[in-house]
Amino acid sequence: MSTISRDEVARVAVLARIDLRPEEVDRLAGELDVIVESIAKVNQVATPDVPATSHPLPMTNVFREDVPAPALPVADVLAAAPDAQDGKFLVPQILGEE
């Protein structure tokens, strides 16, 4: 028995403003139904004594120590910029303001 109907797929597509052809609605209804069935199988296996996990292996923080370092010289940084003026990056005007 299908849990996701083509009418539900069409309704969600309208809400999401996605224009789907009838054959796409039929295909997606079948694909979403398979996904829902797979989730139902996982829920049958899941037990309260097994903690939920997002990763199969424990994750550790891999960030480096935040150690202050000397800044790059302004001249070196601006040398790599497409354009500079008065010691600052010069970027195209986008708002039409002076």
**In this structure, is the dihedral angle defined by the CA atoms of residues 2, 12, 18 and 32, taken in order, positive or negative?**
negative
Q: Domain containing 29: what range?
A: 1-47
In a domain, 38, yes or no: yes
pLDDT digits 0-9 by tens, 16-64: 999 999 999 999 999 999 999 998 888 888 777 877 777 888 888 878 8
- What is the per-residue pLDDT for 56? 81
For 84, phi then psi, to 5°, come to: -145, 155
Domain with 25 in it: what CATH number?
Answer: 1.10.20
- What is the per-residue pLDDT for 27? 95
| Total domains, the chain | 1
In a domain, 34, yes or no: yes
In a domain, 56, yes or no: no
In a domain, 90, yes or no: no
In a domain, 13, yes or no: yes
For 25, phi then psi, to 5°, come to: -60, -45
In a domain, 5, yes or no: yes
CB atoms within 10 A of CB 16: 8
Cα 10 from chain centroid?
A: 24
Three-state DSSP at 19 gives coil
pLDDT digits 0-9 by tens, 56-94: 888 888 788 889 999 999 999 999 999 999 999 999 888
